[in-house]
Amino acid sequence: MDRPVETNPFFDKQPWALDIADVLGVLEVDSKHGLSSKQVRQRQQKFGPNQLRKHKKRGIVEILINQLKSIIIVLLATAALFAFWLGEYVDGWAIVAVIVINTVIGFFTELRAVRSMEALFKLGKVSTRVRRAGKIIEIDAEELVPGDVVIIEGGDIITADLRIIKQSKLQSDESALTGESLPVSKQGDAVAEDTVLAGRDNMLYKGTAVTRGSGEAVVVSTGLDTELGAISSLVEEADQEQTPLEERLDKLGYRLITITLIIALFVVGSGIWAGKELFLMVETGIALAVAAIPEGLPIVATIALAKGIRLMARKNALVNRLSSVETLGATGIICTDKTGTLTENKMTVTGFYLSGDRDISLSEHKMSDNSDLRLALEVGVLCNNASLYHQEKGGTGDPLEIALLEAAKKAGLVIDELPSKYPEIREEAFDADVKMMATWNKKKDGEYRVSVKGAPGAVLDVCSSVMVDGEVQPLQKKDREQWEELNLELGREGLRMLAFAVKTVDTIEGNPYEELTLIGLVALSDPPRSDVKPAIFRCQQAGIRVVMITGDQKATAESIAESVGIDLNNREAIHGRDLPDIAGLEMDSPETNEIYHTSVFSRVSPSQKLDLIELFQKKGQIVAMTGDGVNDAPALKKADIGIAMGQRGTQVAQEASDMVLLDDAFSTIVSAIEQGRVIFNNIRRFIYYLMSCNVSEVMVVAMATIIGTALPILPLQILFLNLVTDVFPALALGVGEGEAGIMQKSPRSPEQPILGRSEWIGIAGYAFIITLSVLGSLFIGMEYLLLSADKAVTLSFLTLAFAQLWHVFNMRSSDSGFWNNTITTNNYIWAALLLCTGLLFVAVYVPVISDVLKVTPPTVTGWGVVFIMSVIPLLVGQLWKGYGPDLEVLQK
Ligand code: ATP
C-alpha cells in the first residue's frame, strides 16, 4: 500500500516529513489567506480536476448508431428491401421514411434520457470548505488544487491528500486505505519520511472520513496523484446500472417479441393459404411485429424516472439513483431518528435539578447563590466542544452543547475564562453506545478534574456519591430511585435529559466512568417541528408506518412520538437494552412480531438500528431510514432508501445514503414518496395504454384473417399508427401529475409485477372491444354504405386510430371522476390528442401521404361511422369502470 517516496510530484521531501511551515512554503500559500484566484486558475490548468473518475459522456453519434441497432430497424429494413425487390417502390420508400422517422424520434428520446442522467451526476457531487483569497467558501471537491487550505470538521469526507496545519481532537477513519477499522488520532508535527501510511498521523487521505474533531489542512496532492489515485486508475464511470424496473421492462419486451412473432407467422401463413397476396401478407406480418415490440418502453421509463428526480430535487430531496425513485414509491416503513428530524434541534436549557435546591430556573438564581449550580455550569462548559458566536446568538457545534454554553453565559459564568483556568488535557469523546462524554481538566493544584455529562441512566449507573451543597455524600439506593423518578417525570414532558458528574484524580490514565459524584440533572427542550405532524398523518393515510428509532430515553421518545402523532399501536417503546439479539430470532415468533409492531425504540445503539432494519425487511417491507452521524452510515446503506440530512448530516452519512434532504424536513420524505408513487403509476399507465393499443392492432389483423375478410388495416397504416397515434398520448401519460388520492392508498407490494393478471385481462378486453369496433366499421362500410374495399378500409383504419386516441381516457383510475381525473387534467394529453388528430387529417387530406397510405377522404356519413364506432370502446370502458367488477390494479 505504501508508495515509494519519490512519486509525490511536488516535494523533494515528503510532506509528512516536513514542518508545516515548509510545506506551506513549497506550496506558496499563506494558511491564513489561502490561494489567490490567480494561483487557483494556474494550478487548475496544471493539475486538472481533482477526480479519479471521468463521467462518461455519450456522444451524439453513439446515440444515433444505437438507434440503428434495434430489432425494429432490422425488421423494417427487411421489409423495405423486400418491397424494392418486388418492385413496390412506393411502399419501399414509405418504409424507408418510417425508418428515418423512427430513428429520429428514438434519437431524441434517448438523447433526452442520457442528458438528464448526466445532469443527475452533477447533483451528487461532494463539496469541500476551503479558504481562498482570505474567505472561507464552499467549492466542488473536483476544483481543489494543491495548496488549497481546507477547513475540516467531524463527519467530513476527505477529498484530496492533505497535510494538517492545525487540529483539535482530530480523528479519522482510514479503513478504506489501511484496512484498520479503529479511528486514528491525528496531530500536526512532522514524522519520519519512511513512516508507513498508517502511521503518518499528520496527513489526511482522500477517501477517508473524519470521525471527530476539527482542523485545517493544506492540499498536497489531488486526483490521481493521491494515495487513493495510485491504487485506482482513471476509469470511465460505468453507465448507471439498469434499474429493476428497466430490467423488468426489458424482460417484458422479450416475451412480447416471441408472442408477436408467433402471431405474425400465423397471420402471414393463413393469409397466404387463403390466397392473399404474398407481399401484402409479409408486409403485414412485419408491420404487426413492429407494432407489438415495445421498443421504447425502457427509454420512456428512464425519462419518467429522471424527470421524477428533477421534480424531487426541486422539492429539496436529492436522489442519486434512478432506481431509488422506484423504491421510494413502494416504501412501507419510515424509520426516523428523533433529534433534528422530528424535532427542531434547537435546544434550550429549561432547568437544572440539583440535590439541595431542586428545579432551578436560571433567570431567577444566579450561580453565586449556589456552589452546586456553579459546578454544574462549569461541567457543562468544560465537557463541551461547541463554541458561541461573539456578536450574534447561537454558535457552532452540537446544538445540545451550544445550549449548555448559552445557559452558563446567561447565569453569569464568564465562559471564555474557564478553558485557560482549567486547561483540557484529555477527552473521552461522546459515544452513542456509552452515551457519555468526559474531559480531564488540569487544576491549579496539579490534580485533574474529570467532568462527565451524558444520558442520566448511564451516568447514574457509574456514580457512587452525590454533591449536596458542596459536600460529597454517598449516593443511597433511595436517592438513586428518586433521581430516576425525576428523570422519568421530566422525560415524559418531552424534555431531553442530561446528567452531570465529576471526580478529582491525580492521573489522566484510567476509566473516567466509575466512582463519580453526581451533580444533578439538566433538562433541555427541543420542540417538535411544525411540519412533522401533518406529514406523519399523510403517511398514515398512505399506509406507511413511521417508526422512531432514537438514542434518547424512553420517556422523552414516547412523549415526542405522541406529540407528533406517531401511532404507537398500543405498545410501549422498547428500550435498546431489552431488545433481544434480533439476528437470532425466528421470523414468525411472537417476539419478532412484537418488535415488528412497535413504533418507538429508545436508547438504540447503531448496530441495533441495523438489526431493526433487517427485521422489517425480512417482514417484506421496503424500509426508508434517516440518519446523520458517521455511525449511522451502515444502517443508511442497509436500508432500501437511506436518507441523510443536507444541513445537519455529515458528509459520511450523505455519501452512504440514497437521498439527501436539503431542508432536513421529514415532510420532504413524504413528498418524495408521493412523487415515487406517481412516477411508478405513470410508467404502468403508459405501458398499459401502449399494450392495449398494440394488442388491438394485432387482434384486428388476426381476427380479419380468421374470418377471412379484407384486411381492415394495411401494413403502412399500422406503421403510421405506431408512429403517430400511440406514441404521443403514451408519452403524455408518462409525465402526468398523478392522482389526488394517491397518498390515500397503501404502498404497492415490492413484488407486484408491472402488469399483473388483471392488467393483462384489461388489455385483452380493451383490445377486443376496439377490434369489434374496427371490424364493425369495415362491415358497415362494405355492406351498408356499399363502399369499395379501399374506401371501407379507410373507415376501419380511422376507427382504429381514433379509438386508440379516445382510449387514453380509459386510463383514469375507477375511483376518480369522469371529468376530473389525472388524464383530463394533464395538458400534455390534450396537446397530444390535438396533434394526433391533426396528423390524421393530414393522412386523409394531403395527397401524397394519403396516396401512400391508400386512404380516401370519407364522406360525412363515413366520418359519422368513424366517430360513433371509435367512441364505443371509450363508452364500454367507462361503463365498465362504473358498473363492472373492479379489474384495475393500476390505481394502486
Ligand atoms: P436521535 O438518535 O433520535 O437523534 P439522540 O440525539 O438523543 O436521538 P444520541 O445522540 O445517541 O441520540 O444521544 C443519546 C443520549 O446521549 C441523549 O439522550 C443524551 O442524553 C446523551 N447525549 C447526547 N449528546 C451528548 C453529548 N454531546 N454529550 C453527552 N451526552 C450526550
pLDDT attached to residue 367: 53
Question: Is there a contact between 823 and 891 (Cβ–Cβ < 8 Å)?
Answer: no
Same topology between domain 318-343+529-664 and domain 348-525: no
Residues 530-538, mean pLDDT to the nearest whole number: 93
Which is the closest atom of ligand 1 to the Cα of 340?
4
Which of 498, 546, 554, 560 best tests ligand 1's pocket when mutated (most atoms within 8 Å of CB)?
498
Q: How many Å lie between the centroid of ligand 1 and the Cα of residue 492?
A: 16
Query: Is pLDDT at 538 greater than 50 in this prediction?
Result: yes
pLDDT value at residue 108: 82
- Residue % of the chain over a pLDDT of 70: 92
Of 210, 225, 224, which Cα lies nearest the Cα of 151? 210
pLDDT digits (tens, 9 = 90+) for 748-791: 887 777 788 888 888 999 999 999 999 999 999 999 988 888 89
Residue 383 CA: which ligand 1 atom is closest?
A: 28
Q: Is 602 exposed, middle or buried (0-12, 13-18, 19+ CB in 10 A)?
A: buried
Distance 726 CA to ligand 1 centre (A): 57
Q: Which residue among 173, 201, 337, 726 is the active-site one?
A: 337
What is the per-residue pLDDT across 805-855, written as a single tens digit (0 to 9) for each? 999 999 888 777 778 888 888 999 999 999 999 999 999 999 988 988 899
User: Alpha-carbon distance 307 to 314, whole Å?
Assistant: 11
Give the confidence band of 680 by pLDDT, cuts at 50, 70, 90.
confident
pLDDT exceeds cutoff 70 at 98: yes
In the chain, where the domains are located: 15-50+144-232, 248-311+677-739+751-891, 318-343+529-664, 348-525
pLDDT in tens, 393-444: 777 778 899 999 999 988 888 888 888 889 988 888 788 788 999 999 999 8
pLDDT of residue 252: 78
Q: What are 282-310's pLDDT values in tens digits?
A: 878 877 777 776 666 766 777 788 788 88
When pLDDT is cut at 50, 70 and 90, the band that residue 548 belongs to is very high
- Evaluate if residue 4 carries a pLDDT over 60: no
Query: Is the pLDDT higher at 709 or at 888?
Result: 709
pLDDT score at 232: 62
Mean of the pLDDT values across residues 606-626? 91
What confidence category does residue 225 fall into, taking pLDDT thresholds of 50, 70 and 90?
A: confident
pLDDT at 239: 46
pLDDT at 892 over 50: no
Ligand 1 center–CA 216 separation, angstroms: 27
**Cα(35) to centroid(ligand 1), Å:** 39
Q: Which residue has the higher pLDDT, 398 or 369?
A: 398
Closest Cα to atom 11 of ligand 1: 551
Instruction: Determine contact, residues 654/123, Cβ cutoff 8 Å.
Output: no
pLDDT in tens, 569-590: 888 999 988 988 887 888 888 8
Task: Return the higher-pLDDT residue of 1 and 871.
Answer: 871
Query: What local confidence, expressed as pLDDT, does residue 56 receive?
Result: 61
Has residue 8 got a pLDDT over 60?
A: no
pLDDT score at 188: 84
pLDDT of residue 362 exceeding 60, the answer is no
Which of 339, 347, 577 has most ligand 1 atoms within 8 Å of CB, for mutation? 339
**Local confidence band at 236 (pLDDT 50, 70, 90 cut-offs):** very low
CA of 428 to the centre of ligand 1 (A): 15
d(C-alpha 418, C-alpha 420), whole Å: 5
Residue with cell 452540537: 398
The pLDDT of 597-608, averaged and rounded, is 90
The lowest-confidence range among 476-480, 530-534, 740-744 is 740-744
The residues pairing with 845 across neighbouring beta strands, listed in sequence order, are: none
Which CATH number is 15-50+144-232's, of 2.60.120.620, 1.10.3720.10, 3.40.50.300, 2.70.150.10?
Answer: 2.70.150.10
- Single pTM value for the model: 0.79
pLDDT tens digits, one per residue of 446-471? 899 999 999 999 999 999 999 988 88
Confidence of residue 508 (pLDDT cuts 50, 70, 90): confident
Q: CATH for 248-311+677-739+751-891, among 3.40.50.12280, 3.30.590.20, 3.20.20.70, 1.20.1110.10?
A: 1.20.1110.10
Mean pLDDT of the chain: 85
Q: Is the pLDDT of residue 500 over 90?
A: yes
CA gap 763, 688 in Å, rounded:
7
345 in Cβ contact with 400 (< 8 Å): no
Distance in angstroms between the alpha carbons of the first and the last residue of the chain:
53
Three cell numbers at 500? Answer: 452531570
Cβ < 6 A, ligand 1 pocket: 337-339, 398, 400-401, 430, 432, 435-437, 453-455, 496-498, 550-553
Nearest C-alpha to atom 7 of ligand 1 is from which residue? 552
Question: Percentage helix, strand, coil, to 5, in the chain?
Answer: 50, 15, 35
d(CA 294, CA 441): 72
Question: Does residue 337 have a pLDDT over 80?
Answer: yes
Multiple choice CATH, 348-525, 3.40.50.2300, 2.60.40.10, 3.90.1280.10, 3.40.1110.10: 3.40.1110.10
Q: Which atom of ligand 1 is nearest to the CA of 498?
A: 20
Best probe residue, ligand 1, of 337, 387, 398, 430 (max atoms within 8 Å of C-beta): 430
Contact present, 869 and 799 (Cβ < 8 Å) = yes
How many other CB atoms are found less than 10 A from the CB of residue 811? 26
What's the CATH code, domain 318-343+529-664? Answer: 3.40.50.1000
Between these two residues, 555 and 587, which has the higher pLDDT value?
Answer: 555
Residue 549 CA: nearest ligand 1 atom is: 3
Are 822 and 888 a contacting pair, CB within 8 Å? no
Which residues in 859-887 are b (16+ Cβ under 10 Å) and which e? eeebeebbeebbebbbebbeebbeeeeee
Q: 59-63, 179-183, 794-798, 870-874: which has the minimum mean pLDDT?
A: 179-183
Q: Respond yes or no: is residue 337 known to be catalytic.
A: yes
Residue 182 has pLDDT above 80, yes or no: no
Does residue 120 register a pLDDT over 80?
no
DSSP 763-823: HHHHHHHHHHHHHHHHHIIIIIS---HHHHHHHHHHHHHHHHHHHGGGGS-TTS-SSSSTT
CA-closest residue to ligand 1 atom 29: 454
Would you tell me the crossing angle of helices 789-807 and 666-707 to the nearest 10 degrees? 160
State residue 52's pLDDT score: 73
